[in-house]
Structures are given as structure tokens and as C-alpha cells.
Amino acid sequence: MAYISAALDSALMRIEQRSDQRAANAPLASIRHVHRACVHRFLREAVIKLETYLPSPVTTRRHRMRPAANHIDAIADWLHLHGYRPFSIKNLLTALAGWTDWVLFAGFTALDLLPAFEAYKLAPKDRRRVRRQSLTAGSVFIRFLQHQGELPAPAVPPRTSDNWPILGEYRSWMRTHRGLTETTLDVYEGILAGFLDALGDDGHASGLRGCRTLA
């Protein structure tokens, strides 16, 4: 936590300068005491919070020296807010440390996390169970960074109904009148999209007989 303390000390000096200008009649020693108490409380609670999620001091130190260092506290809170249980958070953060080890030793930095994740997926596959856990942790970490706006959101592929508007109408009708779920409609849409591709742009030219042949 030394680097956090140094940063907060620097911020404290700036706060004291502003406070001295705004409250010239207040004793500077009193202002310093209040601000330092707030800093110490922040540091104490930050340490307790991280240790609650990740009790291993060795893994914590690894995270502090790896490319995910600037985000490790935030993702722990994010996982908690998204319903992850403490045991799952601990396992995921432990696996994330393994992935960030690879990122560092492969020559990537905190600015290359997305390319690093893609490269890791293509890396030689050894220790499958550990690799699978690291892939999962890396995937969750990338999704977290995208959610926070630190990385660009993944491109959303166009829906099949964008190419075939009739499929959009079909989905709406089946959802309303038959109560089908989105998962079932996705399956139906994939099948019908293949049928419409084979039918071609001019479906009327094929006629009923042509449709039966394709079906």
C-alpha cells in the first residue's frame, strides 16, 4: 500500500493548500489532523476489504506488481456487487493472478490487455485445468474493463432479422401468440435463416414446389 499512501500524501498537501485559502482562520494543525485521520481510515478499510476477498498475501503482492494492479480492488468490488460469493471471488482473483503472470512474462503491459487475452487463447495448451481457470478469469476481467469503459465494448454482430425483416415479424408473432422464449426463437431463427439463404432473394420464383424441395 506504500504507493497509495504516497499518492494520498501528495493529494493531502493540495487539500491543505486549498483549505488554508478557504479557512484562513482555522488552525492548519487541526486541518492536517482531520485529513490524515481520513487517509488512515481509507487505507485501513481498503486493506481489510481486499483481504476479505483475497486472504493470501502472496497473491495480493503478485496482483500489486502485475498489469491488473490498477483495477484489482475495483474488480473485487464489482464481482461482489454482481452476486459472486466470497469463495468464487477468491478463486477467480487467484486464477487472474496466474493470467496476469503470463501477460507480464509474455511482454505485454497494462495497455495491451485485450491483445494479451487474445494471444493467451492461442498460446500452447499446458496444464489444462489451470489454463481453463485463467481463461475464465481473464474473460471476466476483460468484461469488467469493458463495463467500466476502460476497454472498447465488443462489436455486436447484426441480427439475422436485420437481413430478413420477415424473421423479425415472425419472432414477434411467435413470442406474442405462442409464448416462445428468446432461446427457442434464436434456434428457429437460425434454421429459417439458412432456409431463406438457400431460397434466394426471389422467393416467389421458387414457388411452393421449390420451397418443399429446400425443406
Q: What is the pLDDT of residues 117-149, one digit of tens each?
A: 999 988 876 667 678 889 999 999 999 999 999
Distances (CA, A) of 76 to 51, 82, 160: 10, 10, 37
Q: What is the pLDDT of residues 145-196, one digit of tens each?
A: 999 999 888 776 677 777 778 888 888 898 899 888 888 888 888 788 777 7
What phi and psi, each to the nearest 5 degrees, are found at residue 159?
-70, 150
Alpha helices in 23-148 (DSSP H): 28-53, 57-64, 72-81, 86-105, 113-122, 128-147
| Those residues with Cβ within 8 angstroms of residue 117's Cβ, 6 or more apart along the chain or in another chain | 138, 139, 142
Residue with more model confidence, 161 or 30 = 161
Other Cβ atoms within 10 Å of 82 Cβ, number: 11
The rounded mean pLDDT for the chain is 75
pTM of the model: 0.53
Lowest mean pLDDT across 29-33, 80-84, 169-173, 190-194: 29-33
Q: Cα separation of 178 and 143, whole Å?
A: 35
Q: Cα separation of 211 and 215, whole Å?
A: 6
Q: 87: helix, coil or strand?
A: helix
Cα dihedral 19, 21, 27, 32 sign: positive
Other Cβ atoms within 10 Å of 72 Cβ, number: 21
Alpha helices in 158-200 (DSSP H): 160-163, 165-177, 182-199
